[in-house]
C-alpha cells in the first residue's frame, strides 16, 4: 500500500512562509500505476506504448504526492519521449495545434512536452500516456470556448473519430446547461490499447477509453457521457476518501442517464437503468460472502485496498438512490435546481456522504420547507448507505418500452425449449432491427430463465452470430448465458471459446477491460477451473497490473 515520505521542516518558520522541496525518485518495473506494452500489444505493432492508471490509490506508485482525493493539486510536467506524450493537463509546448510529435521522427527523435494543469485536481487524475498516436479535432460546437478532439493509433483514428465525433461535444454542452460551465478548457479522448482495464477513465482534459467502445453504431457512446459528467461529479466535486466513492460514481451514472433522456427520450433513460440493474444484482450476489462491499458507504480497514470492492455497486446502487430522491421530492423540475446548487456549492472541494446529505437538507429547508423535509425523512438512509443483501431498499420501476421487442424474443426462445431444434422458426434477421443495447437486453433476459437445452444454445449462437461478434458487450452476455449451466457440454465448448477471446488467442492483445475479462474468467472457472487458470497464466503479464491482481483473486490464485 506504500509508505509515507517524511520531510522535516526547518525550525523557526513563520505562517505564510514558502518552502521549495525537490524530491528525486524513480519508479520500479513493478509500478502498479503503469503498464508498459511492447509493440505486439498495440494496433500498429511498430512502437511500444505506455499508459498510467492512478485511480484509486496508485498515484503513490508513480509520483510522491499526498495520494488522497481529499487533497487537490495543480501540476506542471516536462516529459521527454521519442513517442508522442499526452497528460491530463493543457499542453504548453510544442503548440497543441501542431503535429503530434512536433514534426520530428516518431520513435527516433526525442521531444520534450510541457503540460500545465491550472485547476486543482485529486492525485488519481494525474495521467500519462505515450505511444504512436495521432489527433483529430472535433468540429467546434456552437460558440463554446473549450476544444475537443480524439487521439488514437493511426490504425484506429478513422473508426474512433466516427464513433465519438457526433456526440462528445453535444454531451458536454448539455452537461453545461444542466449544471455549470466546463472549467478544464480542453476535453480530449484517447483510445488506448485493449489491455486498458476500464471502459473509461475521466482524467482531467484527457479521458482514456477502451477500444471495445468502437462498435461502429455509436450505441456505446454513453460511456463518453459518463466520463464527461465526471468533470462535475468527481473531478469537480470529489469524494473525500474511498469510503465515499459512490458520490463520484452514483452521481455521474445518474447524470449520464439524465443526458440520455434530455438528448434522446425518457425511454432511453429507463432502458439504461434497467440494463444497469442486471449488472448491479450480479455484483451484489458476487459479494455475498463479503457483505460489507454491498454497501454504498464502506468503512475500509487500515491497509485494505479499495479496489477489492470495485464493482457496479457504487455506480448503480448510487444512481438508484439519486433517482429515488428525485422521485420522492417530486421529479426533475424540483430536483434539477438542487443539482446545480450542489455543484456550485462544492465545486473544487472534497466531501463526505454526510456533508452531501446535510447540504441536501439545507437546500430543501430553504427551497421547499416542511413538505420537502418530510419527503426526505421518508427515505431510509441507513438502508441505502449501509444496507447489505442482493436487492435495493426500494423496488424501482423503469421505462422498459425500448426493451419490449427484445424481451418478447427472449420469451419466444424460452417457450421453444421443448421444440426440436430442427423445427424452430427463428430467423437470422430477428435481431436486425435491434441496436447493441437491445441485443444485450435480449441476452440478459434469456439469463433470467432456466438455461435452454444445449442444442438451442448452439442454434442461437450460429443463427445470430453472437459468439463471433466484435461487439464485446453482446459477446459477454452470450457467454454468460451459454455458461449458466456448468454441467453441460455446450458450457465446456463456449468456456474454451470465451477464454480464447479474452486472452487474444495468444496474440498478446488481451481483452483487458475488467468488465469483460473478470466476468469471463469467473464464469469459465465455474465450468472448468483448470481451463480458466491455464488461460490466465498463459497471458498473465499482458493484463494491466490492477486487473491481474483482481483476476488472481477471482481464480483463487491469491488471497
**Enzyme catalytic residues:** 227, 315
187 is in an annotated binding site: no
Q: Which three cell numbers stand for residue 230?
A: 465526471
Q: How many CA atoms lie within 13 A of 514 on its CB side?
A: 21
CA quadruple 511, 514, 518, 523: dihedral sign? negative
514 is in an annotated binding site: yes
Nearest-angstrom CA–CA distance, 261 and 277? 17
515 is in an annotated binding site: yes
Under DSSP, the state recorded for 315 is I
31 is in an annotated binding site: no
Q: Which three cell numbers stand for residue 65?
A: 504526492
Nearest-angstrom CA–CA distance, 191 and 208? 6
55 is in an annotated binding site: yes
Nearest-angstrom CA–CA distance, 467 and 291? 34
53 is in an annotated binding site: yes
199 is in an annotated binding site: yes
Burial class (CB in 10 A: 0-12, 13-18, 19+), 550: buried
Distances (CA, A) of 104 to 51, 82, 86, 94: 21, 9, 16, 11
314 is in an annotated binding site: no
6 is in an annotated binding site: no
458 is in an annotated binding site: no
40 is in an annotated binding site: no
Buried-exposed string 201-224: b where 16+ CB fall within 10 A, e elsewhere: bbbbbbbbbbbbbbbeebbbbbbb
Are 434 and 405 in contact by the 8 Å Cβ rule? The answer is yes
513 is in an annotated binding site: yes
Q: For 13, left (φ over 0), alpha (ψ -120 to 50), or beta?
A: beta
197 is in an annotated binding site: yes
60 is in an annotated binding site: no
Q: What is the phi/psi pair of residue 85, to 5°?
A: -120, 130
The string of DSSP codes covering 108-163 is: TS-EEEEEEEEEEEEGGG--EEESS-EEEEPPP-TT-SSEEEEEE-TTTHHHHHHH
369 is in an annotated binding site: no
Q: Which residues contact 46 (CB under 8 A, 6 or more apart)?
A: 39, 107, 132
Q: Point out the annotated binding site for a peptide.
A: 53-55, 197-202, 513-515
Instruction: Could you list the residues known to form a binding site, using ranges.
Output: 53-55, 197-202, 226, 230, 249, 513-515
Known binding positions for Zn(2+): 226, 230, 249
Amino acid at each position: 500500500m506504500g509508505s509515507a515520505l517524511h520531510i522535516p521542516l526547518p525550525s523557526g518558520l513563520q505562517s505564510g512562509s514558502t518552502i521549495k522541496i525537490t524530491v528525486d525518485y524513480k519508479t520500479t518495473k513493478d509500478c502498479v500505476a503503469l503498464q508498459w506494452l511492447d509493440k505486439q500489444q498495440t494496433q500498429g505493432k511498430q512502437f511500444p506504448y505506455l499508459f498510467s492508471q492512478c485511480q484509486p490509490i496508485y498515484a503513490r506508485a508513480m509520483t510522491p504526492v499526498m495520494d488522497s482525493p481529499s487533497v487537490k493539486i495543480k501540476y506542471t510536467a516536462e516529459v521527454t519521449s521519442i513517442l508522442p506524450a499526452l497528460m491530463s493537463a493543457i499542453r504548453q509546448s510544442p503548440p497543441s495545434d501542431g503535429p503530434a510529435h512536433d514534426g520530428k521522427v516518431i520513435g527516433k527523435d526525442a521531444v520534450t512536452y510541457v503540460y500545465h494543469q491550472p485547476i486543482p485536481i485529486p492525485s488519481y487524475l494525474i495521467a500519462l500516456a505515450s505511444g504512436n498516436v495521432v489527433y483529430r479535432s472535433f468540429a467546434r460546437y456552437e460558440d463554446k470556448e473549450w476544444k475537443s478532439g480524439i487521439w488514437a493509433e493511426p490504425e484506429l483514428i478513422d473508426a474512433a473519430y466516427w464513433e465519438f465525433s457526433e456526440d462528445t461535444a453535444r454531451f458536454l454542452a448539455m452537461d453545461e446547461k444542466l449544471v455549470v460551465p466546463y472549467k478544464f478548457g480542453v476535453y480530449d479522448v484517447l483510445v488506448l490499447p485493449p489491455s486498458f482495464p476500464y471502459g473509461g477513465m475521466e482524467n482531467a482534459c484527457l479521458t482514456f477509453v477502451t477500444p471495445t467502445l468502437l462498435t461502429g453504431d455509436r450505441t456505446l457512446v454513453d460511456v463518453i457521457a459518463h466520463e464527461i459528467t465526471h468533470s462535475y461529479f468527481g473531478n469537480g466535486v470529489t469524494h473525500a476518501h474511498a469510503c465515499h466513492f459512490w458520490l463520484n460514481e452514483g452521481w455521474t451514472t445518474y447524470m449520464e442517464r439524465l443526458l440520455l433522456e434530455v438528448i434522446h427520450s425518457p425511454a432511453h433513460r429507463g432502458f439504461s437503468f434497467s440494463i444497469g440493474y442486471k449488472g448491479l444484482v450480479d455484483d451484489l450476489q458476487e459479494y455475498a460472502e463479503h457483505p460489507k462491499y454491498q454497501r454504498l458507504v464502506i468503512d475500509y480497514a487500515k491497509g485494505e485496498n479499495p479496489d477489492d470492492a470495485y464493482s457496479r455497486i457504487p455506480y448503480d446502487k448510487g444512481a438508484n438512490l439519486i433517482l429515488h430522491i428525485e422521485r420522492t421530492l417530486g421529479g426533475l423540475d424540483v430536483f434539477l435546481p438542487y443539482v446545480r446548487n450542489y455543484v456550485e456549492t462544492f465545486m473544487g472541494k472534497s466531501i463526505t456522504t454526510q456533508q452531501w446529505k446535510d447540504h441536501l437538507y439545507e437546500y430543501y429547508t430553504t427551497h421547499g420547507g416542511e413538505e420537502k423535509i418530510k419527503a426526505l425523512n421518508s427515505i431510509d438512509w441507513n438502508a441505502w448507505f449501509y444496507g447489505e443483501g442482493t436487492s435495493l431498499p426500494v423496488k424501482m420501476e423503469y421505462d422498459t418500452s425500448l426493451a419490449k421487442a427484445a424481451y418478447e424474443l427472449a420469451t419466444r426462445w424460452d417457450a421453444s425449449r421443448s421444440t426440436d431444434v430442427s423445427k424452430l422458426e427463428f430467423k437470422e434477421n430477428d435481431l436486425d432491427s435491434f441496436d447493441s443495447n437491445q441485443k444485450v437486453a435480449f441476452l440478459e433476459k434469456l439469463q433470467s430463465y432456466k438455461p435452454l437445452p444445449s442444442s438451442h444454445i448452439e442454434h442461437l449462437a450460429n443463427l445470430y452470430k453472437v459468439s463471433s461478434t466484435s461487439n464485446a458487450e453482446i459477446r459477454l452476455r452470450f457467454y454468460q448465458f451459454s455458461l449458466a449451466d456448468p454441467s453441460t457440454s455446450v458450457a465446456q465448448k463456449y468456456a474454451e471459446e470465451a477464454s480464447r477471446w479474452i486472452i487474444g488467442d495468444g496474440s498478446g492483445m488481451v481483452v483487458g477491460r475488467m468488465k469483460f475479462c473478470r466476468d469471463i474468467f469467473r464464469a469459465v472457472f465455474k465450468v472448468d477451473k483448470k481451463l480458466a487458470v491455464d488461460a490466465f497464466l498463459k497471458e498473465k503479464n499482458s493484463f494491466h497490473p490492477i486487473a491481474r491482481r483482481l483476476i488472481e483473486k477471482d481464480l483463487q490464485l491469491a488471497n
